[in-house]
Amino acid sequence: MKFAIYGAGAMGTVLGAWLTREGVDIDLVNRNKEHIDGLKKNGASIVGTISFTQPVKAFLPEEMKGPYDVIFLMTKQLNNVEIVKSLVTILANDGVICTMQNGLPEHSVASVIGKDRTYGCAVSWGATMIGGGVAELTTKPSRETLTFSLGSYSGKQDERFHAIKDVLSLMGDVETNPNFLGARWSKLLVNSAFSGLSTITGATFGEIANNWSSRVIAQKVIKECIDVAIAAGIKVEPIQGKDIAKLLNYQGPFKRFLGLMIIPIAMKKHRLLKSSMLQDLLKGKHCEIEAINGVVAAYGDDVNVDTPHNDRIIKIVKDIEAGLATPCWDNLAKLRDIKR
């Protein structure tokens, strides 16, 4: 089978290099010419918690050579419908798209190619883009940390589903769960808290977890996500065997304090990670805050659950995009006055 990663930035470069090293026929595609030129000339250089260089097949979008059986979609969600429409022409007749984006992107993909050809995968590890063919893996590499949660938007597990699972299993453990929305939501609550706060502070996940003030706010963001999920009838699935929703869904002061003690432990393996949204802002690009904290806020509106911390993070990010603020620790003060 022929695979492609469309949007091979930091995480896509790590994934593509890893799978290529394992013998998978996979193309790495990105609009960033400097990055693609580096991949073509020197191969993919993976640094950070692991170090290796792997020759890969790299292309600009206009150079893609289909037909592809599976395309892993790893772009930002800002233009999902237009991107998926452009990919239809190079998919095999029974080819599928597996979105590995943050948030809940399956609906927009399925609106173009249909539910039966749409798969989703929540990724529980992180990477940072260096550029020129270089990407940094920021998660400690092991089968317990380099995990994937795979689901079918239609609910069926067919030949393509199992092919995707087999390929991703070459890098880490692949969980499959019929409650894929719950698996997506578990990643969403972590991203809303830590990606959101990383974006407005410029800090790593570890720095946020270890700083008491940001840890308190992260807990409140997660609590909002859990409250929305409960009201929406969504059962939040465990992450890497840990029932985060149960551990962090406090009602009284003791459970709240216990949750605050758990957060640094839970984030230890991801302490070096910085939000990809932050990386976009530092490059002067718009980020996908609406696809992360914005999803929580939108669901909250639908089920009449207030999400003031998620709302405020969205506002701060929008101000940064507009040049009215910069990512810094001072932005935490804009969240401390929320009475909840």
Nearest to 20 by CA among 12, 32, 30, 9: 12
Distances (CA, A) of 73 to 81, 130, 216, 253: 12, 20, 34, 42
Domain check: are 257 and 110 in the same one?
no
Domain check: are 15 and 157 in the same one?
yes
Q: How many domains does the chain have?
A: 2
Crossing angle of helices 212-231 and 253-266, in 10° steps, is 110
Residue-range definition of the domain harbouring residue 82: 3-176
Q: What is the pLDDT of residues 56-87, one digit of tens each?
A: 999 999 999 889 999 999 998 888 999 999 99
Domain check: are 222 and 97 in the same one?
no
Structure tokens at 92: 């095999």
What is the average per-residue pLDDT within 90-118?
Answer: 93
Domain check: are 29 and 171 in the same one?
yes
Domain check: are 208 and 166 in the same one?
no
Structure tokens at 85: 């429409």
Among 113, 145, 176, which residue terminates a domain?
176
pLDDT higher than threshold 90 for residue 266: no
What is the average per-residue pLDDT within 99-128?
Answer: 92
Domain check: are 117 and 251 in the same one?
no
Residue 248: per-residue pLDDT:
84
Domain check: are 273 and 193 in the same one?
yes
What is the average per-residue pLDDT within 16-29?
Answer: 98
Domain check: are 167 and 192 in the same one?
no
Domain check: are 30 and 165 in the same one?
yes
> CB-hemisphere CA count at 13 Å for 54?
24
Please name the residue that has the structure tokens 């709240």: 256
What is the average per-residue pLDDT within 157-168?
Answer: 94
> What's the CATH code of the domain at 112?
3.40.50.720
Cα distance between residue 123 and residue 99, in whole Å: 10
Domain check: are 172 and 198 in the same one?
no
Q: What are the strands of the beta sheet with 91-99, ordered from one edge?
A: 57-59, 26-29, 3-6, 68-73, 91-99, 118-123, 148-152, 174-176
Among 118, 147, 176, which residue terminates a domain?
176
Please name the residue that has the structure tokens 């506002």: 315
Cβ-based neighbours of 186, under 8 Å, separated by 6 or more:
122, 149, 236, 237, 238, 239, 244, 245
> What's the CATH code of the domain at 186?
1.10.1040.10
Residue 270: per-residue pLDDT:
84
What is the average per-residue pLDDT within 82-109?
Answer: 93
Among 151, 176, 201, which residue terminates a domain?
176
Q: Grade residue 283 by pLDDT with cuts at 50, 70 and 90.
A: confident
What is the average per-residue pLDDT within 313-338?
Answer: 95
Q: In DSSP terms, which residues pair with 53 in a beta bridge?
A: 45
Stated pTM of the model: 0.77
Q: Grade residue 242 by pLDDT with cuts at 50, 70 and 90.
A: confident
Residue 13: per-residue pLDDT:
98
What is the average per-residue pLDDT within 200-228?
Answer: 96
Please name the residue that has the structure tokens 């993909």: 109
Residue 315: per-residue pLDDT:
97
More confident site: 119 or 103: 119
Domain check: are 150 and 231 in the same one?
no
Domain check: are 209 and 318 in the same one?
yes
Provide the mean pLDDT of the chain.
Answer: 93
